Structure 1
Amino acid sequence: MQDKNILIIGASSGIGYALAKSLQDKGATLFTAGRQQPNGVQSTHMTWDITQTPALDALNQLPGVLHGLVYCPGTINLKPFQRLTMVDYRNDLEINVLGAVSALQAAYTPLKASKGASVVLFSTVAAKLGMGLHSSVSVAKSAVEGLTKSLAAELAPFKVRVNAVAPSLTDTPLAESAGLLGDDNKRESASKRHPLNRYGTPDDIASMAAYLLSEQASWITGQIIGVDGGMGSLK
């Protein structure tokens, strides 16, 4: 990753932050975007509230050549179907899908210019495995998976790879704020739901994203890769 220009959207916490720290250690030149500058990360930062400003306006300091783009923002909005509103669905779609589309359109020319870029998006195990209370986020992340595959096909002639990582429950501030890992009992219960008997860490997911950005993954595109402790495939 030495001297590679990588844009991480949502690098101030959780998986995005773990990835930014890892890539910084590997010598990448980082560009970050989000509402907050990530602490302890050396980057060209562009302030962007996905719900307020078009990416074409906010991502105004991108380099002419971009070797990687990672879109990390996500939502956890778990409610019974009858309690979900159209506002909930629109919000999940806006943050998970339309924000990614906006960012990709803003970075389209620099990505093509690299003649070997990698795009990493994020889905969820709930897009593959039917899970109650997840209909809104599952709809949004399923759209991310469709976007991943369609763009992978469209951009393959330009040697731009597009893949998505599909985690299960990961110990991030987002999961904490949703109350999923709020106390020892919830943490123990979350661990037991996974075949490997633990929930994920940001580094677990960031490691796969870093791999997909690297030359080692140069023959991988159009894939949805589960990093989920076995939940998506094992009983």
Structure 2
Amino acid sequence: MQKNILLIGGSYGIGASIANKLKENNNVIIASRSNENIPKGITHHTFDALNEDISTLDLPENIDGLVYCPGSINLKPFKMMSPEIFSEDMDVNFHSLVRVVHGLLPKLKNSEQASLIFFSTVAVKVGMPFHTSVAAAKGAIEGFAKALAAEYAPNFRVNVIAPSLTDTSLASKLLNSDSKKEKMAERHPLKKVGTTEDIAAMAAFLLNDDSKWITGQVFGVDGGLSTLNTH
């Protein structure tokens, strides 16, 4: 049976890869600011998670899968990070996510068992220099996801994907030369930088019924960086 899968911010990067992977067998809906690169057969709604109310969109009565993609990579020394930057990163990564989930609760409850997927970062589990703001915002997501999973079980399943550096436009400054890509690849035990397809494969698994006994988990899709020391 087709599922209604809603991606927030799915017009490029990881979100676009997830949409492409799911579109054949599901009713995929993208709500994002940009309507560029939306594949044929996917419904698009113009939506700004920072400023707009998701409940105003004309969406199906039941949402079976929700993926929240908006995020930030703000890497600077702490002394250069004003409190305002922390607030901005929390707004994009966490507060907007909370508003979206809250606004969709009635439609998620109408599903037989909704699957919710949020994104964190390897830098929550592994302390890394220059990651104070993004690690704080993503750490909030991990705590929220586990509490939400406990509160709404068995009606919802809630899981988090925590990638390491992935080759997307958001990470372009870190991967804008072959030498940078090689250096970043060497940091990972699997000697490669992640691709959007790597992350999409895990998201697709968590959205389908093969993962129906999995909830409240944080999955490190990170080339082994969070658990292995090969240096």
Q: For the superposition of Structure 1 and Structure 2, which TM-score range results when normalised by the shorter chain?
A: over 0.9
The residue that corresponds to 2:12 in the other structure is: 13
| Equivalent residue in structure 2 for 1:172, among 168, 174, 179 | 168
**Shift of residue 210, structure 1, vs aligned partner:** 0.5
1:65–1:181 Cα change, 3 Å: same
The alignment partner of 1:107 has SS state of: helix
Gaps of 5+ in 1: none
The residue that corresponds to 1:232 in the other structure is: 226
The residue that corresponds to 1:211 in the other structure is: 205
Q: Which moves more between the two structures, 104-113 or 141-150? A: 104-113
**Shift of residue 146, structure 1, vs aligned partner:** 0.5
Alignment RMSD, CA only? 1.1
Is 1:126 paired with 2:123? yes
Q: Is the 8 A contact 2:38 2:44 kept in 1?
A: no
Count how many residue pairs are aligned between Structure 1 and Structure 2: 228
The residue that corresponds to 2:53 in the other structure is: 54
Match for 1:222: what amino acid? G
**Shift of residue 41, structure 1, vs aligned partner:** 4.2
Gaps of 5+ in 2: none
Distance 1:106 1:41 in 2: 27
Is 1:202 paired with 2:199? no
The residue that corresponds to 1:223 in the other structure is: 217
Distance 1:52 1:112 in 2: 24
Distance 1:162 1:227 in 2: 16
Distance 2:40 2:73 in 1: 26
Distance 2:85 2:216 in 1: 28
Is 1:88 paired with 2:74? no
Distance 2:68 2:40 in 1: 17
| Equivalent residue in structure 1 for 2:63, among 63, 66, 69 | 66
Q: Is the 8 A contact 1:170 1:201 kept in 2?
A: yes
The alignment partner of 1:163 has SS state of: strand
The alignment partner of 1:114 has SS state of: coil
Distance 2:81 2:38 in 1: 35
The alignment's TM-score, normalised by the length of structure 2, stands at 0.96
Q: Is the 8 A contact 1:21 1:41 kept in 2?
A: no
State the percentage of identical aligned residues.
46
How far does the alpha carbon of each residue in 1:192-225 deviate from its partner, in whole angstroms, 9 at most, with x for none? 0000000100000010000000100000000000
Q: Is the 8 A contact 1:20 1:41 kept in 2?
A: no
Distance 1:115 1:79 in 2: 43
The alignment partner of 2:39 has SS state of: coil
Distance 1:108 1:41 in 2: 28
Structure 1 residue ranges (4+ consecutive) displaced by more than 3 angstroms after TM superposition: none
